[in-house]
Amino acid sequence: MKQGYLILETGEVFEGVLSGEISVETGGEVVFNTSMSGYQEIITDPSYAGQIIVFTYPLIGNYGVSVEDDESAALHLRGIVTGELSPDRHHHRATGSVQGRMDENGLPYLTGVDTRRLVRIIRKKGTVRGIISERKDAAVQAGEDGAMYDRVTTKKVITYGNRGPHVVLLDFGYKKSILDYLLEQRCKVTVVPYHHSIQNIRSLNPDGVVISNGPGNPEHAADQLEKIRELTDTYPTLGICLGHQLIAMAYGAKTTKLLFGHRGGNHPVKDLKTGKAYITSQNHGYVVQEETIDNDLFEVSFRNLNDGSVEGLQHRQKPVQSIQFHPEGHPGPLDTVFIFEQFVGRLKERQLSEHQ
């Protein structure tokens, strides 16, 4: 362990203890997550590709990590910053530690940082870029990372078998728990790369399509919008997080960047049809601009109770739904798992109607 620093592009410097033998300076967008548990699911979530994660909860790592709880096979984040990182594994399922997982992947972790002060700065100035370094005067690279979908998408088509409805999962960086919940609903699921052609998807003869979460600016996926529009014109479709934004964009809506994003396991949303409020898991830096939504085609189905932003859309004629939050939780509450049940229910109804 040695002295290290997180330097923000706005000039602030945070001192801490830098991990292991890391000697390469690591930069990226600095974001914070307010979750009190689920740190393993967070660091393995592909949506954090290119980002440095600040944990606001003061103690991270105390129950270790387990391979079963990974959301992806690889780590795509740039590093983590926290107040304290425990080396303990106080859980019967633990097979390793956060430190070990980060070291295995050559990723830095900076501890002993005043995360309260750091998060207050991000909330005031907005999400900023930063660099983890041994040098206090390290320069932060300005600008924005480009598209990272090629880094996080599956490299081959993989089918997970059941005898239920066949779902194609369009992978922009999907979380494994999305796949797990579809399998729990007895679906047959085929995971395909985000750039899989419409012809190849049609040849799989799916009953429905799920468009996954993923990292970065949705504008980087603009070349996929025509395909997404065609998919939603043809199949019952569910979009999650980035998938929600892309469905909206495919129908002409615009997105905008939030000041500091929604990342945590306690974000309240309201179902505008039932009036019920749910606590949700979220991880995104962009939202759909409500004034750009075509109200003749879509109605807003969920709204964020903290800032009023759009959290869900429902097509008025077609079985197409999109949600900004993560119904699978992991980490976070499972209040909205019913969305998977509703989606699969629509697929089963479609199957029955086709066989009558």
Residues noted as catalytic: 241, 326, 328
Confirm whether residue 261 is marked as ligand binding.
no
Q: Report the C-alpha gap between 276 and 282 in whole angstroms.
A: 18
DSSP annotation of 348 reads H
Determine if residue 245 is labeled as part of a ligand binding site: yes
Amino acid at 309: S
Name the nearest CA neighbour of 164 among 181, 180, 189, 188. 188
Eight-class DSSP state of 106: T
Residue 32 and residue 344: Cα distance in Å, rounded? 33
Is 286 annotated among the ligand-binding residues? yes
- CA 305 to CA 96: how far, in whole Å? 38
Specify whether the CB–CB gap between 302 and 268 falls below 8 A.
no
Q: Rounded CA gap, 166 and 179, in Å? A: 12
Tell me: is residue 208 an annotated ligand-binding position. no
Q: Which of 257, 259, 262, 172 is nearest to 222 (CA)?
A: 172
- Asked if residue 283 belongs to a known ligand binding site, the reply is yes
Q: What angle do CA 333, 228, 146 make, to 5 degrees?
A: 75
Closest CA to 312 of 342, 333, 332, 350: 342
59 is an annotated ligand-binding site residue: no
Instruction: Tell whether residue 242 is among the known ligand binding residues.
Output: yes
- Nearest-angstrom CA–CA distance, 213 and 245: 9
Q: Which residues contact 353 (CB under 8 A, 6 or more apart)?
A: none
- Binding-site sequence positions: 47, 214, 216, 242, 245, 283, 285-286
Residues annotated as binding site for L-glutamine? 47, 214, 216, 242, 245, 283, 285-286
